Amino acid sequence: MARLTTTLMAAAALVAVAGCAKKRPAELPPAPGPAPEDSGPRGGGGPGDGAVVPGSAADFKRSVQSDTVHFGLDQSDVDDQARAILDTQAQWLARYPRQRITIEGHCDERGTREYNLALGDRRANAAKNYLAEHGVDASRISVISYGKERPIAVGSDEESWAQNRRAVTVVLN
């Protein structure tokens, strides 16, 4: 009797599992093609036509002197060169008052992780405060520190370290 029960349970399980099996579709969908190019947040030109949408991240990069300001070793002060860059950013942001940005603070590889996160935060906030002092609503600006975690120049020399000590303004779409 126990053997009959076991056999019936195994048969029932097989029938249940067989009923759940997926059938292969008669026709498979085509393979994915190349990804479409982004035409920006507000539409505009068609994909691939090279048009830059006013107020977009691409327009920001094209219109400002730079999206990046650099800092000296263990510094978070905005120097004259950084002021000139941030002035062009403030002008662009004044033209597009609904656009939001994030300022990323970065450091070189030297120092502890904790120290560099704090320094990156001071750098990002220095850029934010400068922009706010020049008419950009501070509520439109968020800051984040990546410390030494996202270098753009790989190397353990002064040239690489100088490139990595920066604050980068990113337009949010």
Provide the 8-state DSSP code for 101.
E
Q: Could you give all domains of the chain from N- to C-terminal order, each with its CATH number?
A: 57-172 (3.30.1330.60)
What CA–CA distance (Å, rounded) separates 169 from 101?
7
pLDDT at 167: 98
Q: Which two tokens stand for residue 29?
A: 């969908």
Span 94-116, pLDDT tens digits = 999 999 999 999 999 999 999 99
Does 23 have pLDDT greater than 80?
A: no
Torsion-angle region of residue 77: left (phi > 0), alpha (psi -120 to 50) or beta?
A: beta
How does residue 121 score in pLDDT terms, banded at 50, 70 and 90?
A: very high
> Are β-strands 68-70 and 166-172 bridged in parallel, bridged antiparallel, or unpaired?
antiparallel
Between CA 107 and CA 167, with CA 133 as vertex, the angle to 5 degrees is 15
What CA–CA distance (Å, rounded) separates 173 from 162?
29
Q: What percent of the chain has pLDDT over 90?
A: 69
